[in-house]
Structure 1
Amino acid sequence: MDEYGQVAVAEAAPHKQADPFDYDGAHVDPNRATDPGLVNNINTKDQARFFCTMGYNETAIASLTRTNASPALCQKTKNLRIVSNVGPALSIYTARIEAPSGTDAIVEPSILVYNSGVKKIKSKV
């Protein structure tokens, strides 16, 4: 069922009732899951904001997060992150931002440098 309670329909032609192969057309690379590179600490509020940017309504977000977290991003906000390197000990990552239309985003530091002594770095978004 879709968010309106209607039978979900596949987007491809010809239209048909959606089946498990239509729910997620993304390419799945299970080996990549064992080597993600970076891992962000997130909380329920962060998840709600993510689902909001994906177009989910508040009812769906509440169902997915099992909370009443508001996903609104109407004002300036700062999110502190602890970014853990789970990739090779010597790794360098550069932030690339694809902010939604009408918003600006800044990541500090914009370059994360990890080595055998540095496995976690605090960052601000």
Structure 2
Amino acid sequence: MATPHLAGVAALLNSSHPDWSPAAIKSAIMTTAHTVDREGKPIADEASGNMDPASVFAMGAGHVDPSKANDPGLIYDIKPEEYIGYLCGGLKYSESQVSGVAGRRIQCSAVKNIAADQLNLPSISVNLGKSPLHKLGVTSSNRTVSRTVTNVGEANSVFSVKVDEPEGVSVKVTPQMLQFSSLNEEKSYTVELSADGKPPGKYSEGQLRWISNKHVVRSPISVTF
């Protein structure tokens, strides 16, 4: 039943914010979702058999809250040309495939290629394991991604970052504070993720939150080793 519910929430947000793109609506839904149940306990994964806390792979961003999604504070937006760069660079589609999606002739060599973890999504997923040069003994023990947020809350607002680091990973966010003076103002930040000792397993997860006096904008973090 998730699909029809989310379609209804997206329709409500589109009605309230007709100028928002599909990416902005998706961002509002994801960054305001709950990760705890009504008793304040972590959302459980029924499929685990033991009602273990659900991972990001089981629950996604969390339980949708339409009211909060209508006023998310910040959104992660994506322009059409960014998707083209992602199809070329992130998904490695052929030029004919990208042209078919775009509805016009695209030359991937003429656009800025965007890696999968660099697309301006409201979540962060990186691989700190084997690099493409792993046969030569090269590993990617650190990765830096960038994100851009747009202020859709209060004109004058300040957000401070709080990070719950994934196990086995050190996270550095620059800058650690975002100050806005107008609506629709954009600010960018970078997130440096570094493997910290022996990996705890194949995956590790955490979260990044931008917090103001009114909003909490949460992004799940997933790391593969």
Question: What TM-score do the two structures reach when normalised by structure 2?
Answer: 0.32
> In the comparison of the two structures, how many residue pairs are matched?
88
Of all paired residues, the percent bearing the same amino acid is 30
Of 29, 33, 55 in structure 1, the residue corresponding to residue 65 of structure 2 is 29
Structure 1 residue 27 displacement after superposition: 4.6
What is aligned with 2:19? none
Q: Which segments of 5 or more consecutive residues in structure 2 lack a partner in the other structure?
A: 1-45, 52-57, 79-85, 91-115, 130-140, 192-225
Runs of 4+ residues deviating >6 angstroms: none
User: How do 1:91-106 and structure 2 match up within 5 A?
Assistant: 91-106=157-172
* AA matched with 2:73: G
Check the 8 A contact 2:153/2:183 in 1, yes or no.
Answer: no
RMSD over equivalenced CA pairs, Å: 3.2
TM-superposition CA deviations, 1:46-89 (whole Å, max 9, x none): 38xx586xxxxxxxxxxxxxxxxxx5223211112211111111
* AA matched with 1:88: E
Question: Per the alignment, in what secondary structure is the counterpart of residue 31 of structure 1?
Answer: helix
TM-superposition CA deviations, 1:9-42 (whole Å, max 9, x none): 48578xxxxxxxxx86x55421111111112357
What is aligned with 1:62? none
Question: What TM-score do the two structures reach when normalised by structure 1?
Answer: 0.54
Q: Verify: 1:88 aligned to 2:148, yes or no.
A: no
Larger relative contact order, structure 1 or 2 (CA cutoff 8 Å, min sep 6): 1
Structure number with the higher helix fraction is: 2
Counterparts in 2 of 1:39 and 1:73: CA distance versus 1, 3 Å: farther
Question: Per the alignment, in what secondary structure is the counterpart of residue 187 of structure 2?
Answer: strand
In 1, Cα distance between the equivalents of 2:154 and 2:69? Answer: 14
What is aligned with 2:173? 107
In 1, Cα distance between the equivalents of 2:48 and 2:145? Answer: 37
User: How do 1:52-91 and structure 2 match up within 5 A?
Assistant: 71-74=126-129, 75-91=141-157
Check the 8 A contact 1:41/1:81 in 2, yes or no.
Answer: no
In 2, Cα distance between the equivalents of 1:86 and 1:118? Answer: 6
